[in-house]
Structure 1
Amino acid sequence: MTLAVHSPVAGTTIPLGEVPDPVFAQAMVGPGVAVRPEGGRADAVAPIDGTVATLHPHAFVVAADDGRAVLVHLGIDTVKQQGEGFSLHVVQGESVRAGQPVVSWDPDAVTAAGYSPVVPVIALDATDGTLTAPGPGAAVSAGDELFTWSG
């Protein structure tokens, strides 16, 4: 079965290898695609239908009914902002639909605080070759299909 994973934010796709964090760049937590977000305050939306399995102001995981889970990390090292500038719209354990707002944030404020606003979207526990993604430089809107996950 193929799972369509949607972009949580609007922006431009970049390869994971260009994410300024070795854990993401080396796909240690799984393969995926990163998005360089557009500036300005916006909602990060759920990438798939499922349950909010993990929720922090700067990151969240949505798990599908079949057990596959997608991590969305809003910026790099943004945990150091201790939630400042992030507003949660859901609670852990809540069921969400793809495209539903999960967290409001401002990539420009992340940049101003000295962090990268790049958003890795990771297929947790996926194996190489199970994702089909666009090439780098693709423009995406929040809610657009970002990649598909076969499994």
Structure 2
Amino acid sequence: MRLEGRLFEVLAERGEQVTAGTPIVSWDPASVTDPDMDRTILVVLMDQAPDSIVSPAIGTDVVAGDVLFTQE
């Protein structure tokens, strides 16, 4: 089963400036019922200078409200 964007609600528009704590996407992991489907979510940060972003979250499990990125 491919989700093709279903089950996700986009809360921020493309180009919208957001601040820490602003929800940008919402989804319910329990809605993915295929046991063979990984519930890992990839977060990609673009348009930043190389090595200007630090992430304490790389390689960890996170919960709502955790800081994903900081800028040096």
- TM-score bracket, shorter-length normalisation: 0.5 to 0.7
Tell me how far 1:99 sits from its aligned partner.
Answer: 1.4
Question: Would you say the 8 A contact 2:57–2:67 is kept in 1?
Answer: no
Question: How far apart are the structure 2 equivalents of 1:133 and 1:107?
Answer: 22
Question: Would you say the 8 A contact 1:133–1:147 is kept in 2?
Answer: yes
Q: Which amino acid aligns with 2:28?
A: D
Q: Which amino acid aligns with 1:143?
A: G
Q: Give the CA RMSD over aligned residues.
A: 3.2
Question: How far apart are the structure 2 equivalents of 1:85 and 1:115?
Answer: 14
Q: Which runs of 5+ in 1 are unaligned?
A: 1-77
Alignment of 1:1-151 (within 5 A): 80-110=2-32, 112-113=33-34, 114-124=36-46, 126-127=50-51, 131=54, 133=56, 140-150=62-72
The one of the two structures with greater contact order (alpha-carbon pairs below 8 A, sep at least 6) is: 1
Identical positions, percent: 32
Per the normalisation by structure 1, the TM-score is 0.33
Question: How far apart are the structure 1 equivalents of 2:58 and 2:5?
Answer: 32
Structure with bigger helix share is 1
Q: Which runs of 5+ in 2 are unaligned?
A: none
Structure with bigger strand share is 1
Per the normalisation by structure 2, the TM-score is 0.57
Cα deviation per residue 1:80-117 (whole Å; 9 max; x = unaligned)? 3122111122221222222112122111223x134211
